[in-house]
Structure 1
Amino acid sequence: MEPFTDSIIQGVKMTSKESGIAALERAMDIVMMFQQEKRELGVTEISRLLGLHKSTVHRCLNTLERRGFVQQNPTTSRYWLGIKFYILGSLYTETMSLCPIASPFIQELADQLNEAVHLAVLDRFCGENLQVIVIDKVETRQRLSITPSIGSGAPVHCCGVGKAMMAFAGEETLNKLLQYRFTPFTAHTITDRETFLQELEKVRSLGYAMDRDELEMGLTCVAAPIFNHRGEVVAAVSTSGPTTRMVATLEEKIIPSVKQIADRISSRLK
């Protein structure tokens, strides 16, 4: 899937003197005009309000419509904001409300386990390159800690949080696995779709996911999904650390603790 900015730039006919930034700003001006006017707008009206050629406005709107950022009323031929803005807004709202709710719980988990704890979400706008993004983290005081930082990403097929969220993802997200590239990172990485789907069945059955030396040798992660009030998976919480240290208390302490914290966060979101 093309990035949003690339799509807009490609949808606007540019002269040799125009830059990609100028084209993007033009498209954003059109989008912001909907916010300012708070109503449907036609090509001619947008052209007049912004001082742009009608052909330029039309090409830009066509691109925005194709990507779901605007929609055309078939009766009036006017345009309004599309469903993609609702999706983006929902993601932003959920993510921004999720962090303050989850923060004390992931701190509690980190204190219990004395290991690093992460809160991650699925990047829904990365096309077929499905990945997770870490949005919050509590560091560990332990030595020999190899853990991702806030803002970092990882492919879904080789990390605990990715498996935890994909196991409960909707059909649209799961269908992206048809084009997904199962890149091997270690000798333990899952490298085919069928094996990955079997792994997701296991995650659904157990209620938690784990990767052991799949993304990086010597690193083990245990993760559990977090659900919103609609029962949709919106995030996952995980703890990770050196495999040699994690295996000692994996079954009796780490797995039950991660599942319990995920359930408690989900309850707060409901």
Structure 2
Amino acid sequence: MMNNKEEIGMNWAQDPKVKSLAKALRILECFSVDTPELGVTELAEMNHITKSNAHNILTTFQQGGYVVKQPNGKYALGLQLLEFSYIINQHLGYPRAVYDLLTDLANKTGEIVYFGLPHGTDVLYLYVAHPIARMQELPYRDMLGEHAPLYCTGIGKAILSAMPEEEWEDHITPVRTPFTDATVTDHDQIIEELWRTRRRGYAIDNCGREVNVRCVGAPVFSGTGRLVAGISTSGPASAMTDEKLLHCSKLVVDTARRMRERIYH
């Protein structure tokens, strides 16, 4: 089954102006959190090009610092790309606008809080905040750059529900993976859930993305009314009872409202 990274790599430039550049960029798009290191043969097969072609592209990227060759002979993304991510992050202006609110939300809920951006059919995670009182207890995950499908995550469904309904089809993958026994993959059921989410103002993930993890999320708008992101808080199903989910939903929605007052564009 093709993952979203591969779908983007094959579909984002069906008829590019500069085909050689598109081919090179698709090499970079093959790297992910799950596959941080890839060999020449793997990259050639993923992109349907020759090994020599893949090697030439990788060598050029290596010279510019965009990839590095590991001792095992495989390649990984280089620090030059990390510099670009920092520039983008600062340009968006979200660190100053939202991070203290994320930390405040984490402390109030006692659970991990996420902030992510819509990115095609995925949510692209930008920040994670942990409650100070549980820093030694909860697993720390730096989510920068991680992604997950919109259709099965609390933060993703919150983002989807805030989009015009005529755009939903463009942001729901045609092939949907059942990550757990509770993942809803049926198209009509997903649409029904999006309508429920829109009516109540927040989304719920009942262990649809990770086993025994429940989540509640809300969309984040700018001061001009533009959908810009989503936030969520999640925890173990044993702790995230229906009562706590309802309590957290009020906190998440209120935090999203406070963010709107700070995000101007």
The TM-score range, normalised by the shorter chain, is 0.5 to 0.7
Provide closer, same or farther for how the CA distance between residues 269 and 251 of structure 1 changes in structure 2, counting only shifts above 3 A.
Answer: same
User: Residue 188 of structure 1 aligns to a residue in which SS?
Assistant: coil
Cα distance between partner residues in 1 of 2:194 and 2:142: 23
Does 2:153 correspond to 1:159? Answer: yes
Does 2:103 correspond to 1:112? Answer: no
> Of residues 98, 103, 107 in structure 2, which corresponds to 1:102?
98
Normalising by structure 2, report the TM-score.
Answer: 0.63
Q: Percent identity?
A: 26
The residue that corresponds to 1:136 in the other structure is: 127
Cα distance between partner residues in 2 of 1:183 and 1:133: 18
Cα distance between partner residues in 2 of 1:248 and 1:147: 25
Cα distance between partner residues in 2 of 1:104 and 1:153: 22
Q: 1:139-182 CA deviation, whole Å, 9 max, x = no partner?
A: 24164659773321111111001000011124674231575222
Cα distance between partner residues in 1 of 2:150 and 2:207: 14
Kept after mapping to 2: 8 A contact 1:147/1:241: no
Does 2:19 correspond to 1:10? Answer: yes
Q: 1:195-215 CA deviation, whole Å, 9 max, x = no partner?
A: 111111111101100101101
Gaps in structure 1 of 5+ consecutive residues: 25-91, 125-129
Kept after mapping to 1: 8 A contact 2:155/2:230: yes
Structure 1 range deviating more: 149-158 or 246-255: 246-255
User: Residue 269 of structure 1 aligns to a residue in which SS?
Assistant: coil
The residue that corresponds to 2:232 in the other structure is: 238
Gaps in structure 2 of 5+ consecutive residues: 1-7, 24-49, 62-87
Provide closer, same or farther for how the CA distance between residues 236 and 94 of structure 1 changes in structure 2, counting only shifts above 3 A.
Answer: farther
1:228 offset after TM fit, Å?
Answer: 1.3
Q: 1:110-156 CA deviation, whole Å, 9 max, x = no partner?
A: 111111111111113xxxxx111110111241646597733211111
Provide closer, same or farther for how the CA distance between residues 243 and 102 of structure 1 changes in structure 2, counting only shifts above 3 A.
Answer: same
Provide closer, same or farther for how the CA distance between residues 105 and 177 of structure 1 changes in structure 2, counting only shifts above 3 A.
Answer: closer
Q: 1:2-57 CA deviation, whole Å, 9 max, x = no partner?
A: 34699466357x9x997446999xxxxxxxxxxxxxxxxxxxxxxxxxxxxxxxxx
Kept after mapping to 1: 8 A contact 2:150/2:171: no
Cα distance between partner residues in 1 of 2:242 and 2:139: 16
Quote the RMSD (CA, aligned, Å).
3.3
Equivalences for residues 1-270 of structure 1 within 5 A: 1=8, 2-3=11-12, 7=16, 10=19, 19-20=56-57, 92=88, 96-124=92-120, 130-140=121-131, 141=134, 143=137, 149-170=143-164, 173-177=167-171, 180-247=174-241, 249-270=243-264
Cα distance between partner residues in 2 of 1:180 and 1:159: 16
Which structure's CA Rg is the greater one?
1
The letter for the 1-side match of 2:187 is R
Aligned length: 196
Cα distance between partner residues in 2 of 1:178 and 1:102: 27
